[in-house]
Homo-oligomer: A and B are copies of this chain.
Amino acid sequence: MLALHTPEGTLADVASTKLTQAIITGELIQGQKLNESDLAERYGIGRGPLREALRQLEGMRLVKRIPHAGARVVTLDRDMMADLYAVREALEGMACRTAALRMTDAEIDTLRLLLEKHAEQIEATDGQIYVQSEGDFDFHYQIALGSRNQMLIDLLAGELYQLLRMCRYRTSRLSARTRPALQQHRHIVDALTARDGELAEILMRRHISGAWKSISEMMDEENDSKPKLITRSKAASGS
């Protein structure tokens, strides 16, 4: 909840955050061409700052720029999502291992309290994945912070989590396994409390790889159930 709206700042930075939001929410569709002049006019700024914003988004892997050919919103295909979850598994595993050694007792208590709040939310708003999804981010983000590794925090919060949010938005109907996830979260906090870094890492990695497995299977089902609707995809896909 901190530093999200960015009330002031350079035009390039506010454009960057606005573009980020627009991409994550799907307002800008995947693979869509991003016309500099149009976007600049849309946000009421010049092309200079907008170009800098695009370069920044490129660094976050939200857009792909090709020289002299413009920028496009990244397309989150299945392979890329698999890559993302693998990287996430490695990084959050490490974060969890380190957090087990560096988090204060108070922070771990706060984390446990957070889980109780999530449990209530799940009971109250059964099926409301959107709120629970943000709660999930809170949990993982707090552990990343607990690692005290700034580079790790930047990588996770600054790059991966944006892509992950994009995934969630795209596959929001899927992945309704909030309750088992909550249980896994509890076990992770237990490992943190025991200051068992190795176990905490293993649990976190299992948690994330399990999440991907679940999402992956659901995508399979959805693709198998209506294969003719997606026939428009090019047969001879380039590169």
Which A residues are closer than 8 A to B by beta carbons? 9-10, 12-13, 48, 51-52, 55-56, 58-61, 67-68, 79-80, 83-84, 86-87, 89-91, 93-94, 98, 149-152, 154-155
Contact = CB atoms under 8 A, between A and B. Distances in A.
A80 B56 CA distance: 22
A118 to B, nearest CB: 26
Contact of A90 (B67, B79, B80, B93): B93
A55 B9 CA distance: 15
A196 B93 CA distance: 20
Contacts of A48: 48
B9 A87 contact: no
Contacts of A55: 12, 52, 55-56, 59
Contacts of A79: 150
A86 B52 contact: no
A93 B79 CA distance: 20
Nearest to A56: B55
Nearest to A53: B55
Nearest to A83: B151
B52 A87 contact: no
A86 B51 contact: no
A93 B58 CA distance: 26
22 contacts: A10-B67, A12-B55, A52-B52, A55-B55, A55-B59, A56-B59, A59-B59, A83-B149, A83-B150, A86-B94, A86-B98, A86-B149, A86-B152, A87-B91, A87-B149, A87-B151, A87-B152, A89-B94, A90-B90, A90-B91, A90-B94, A155-B155
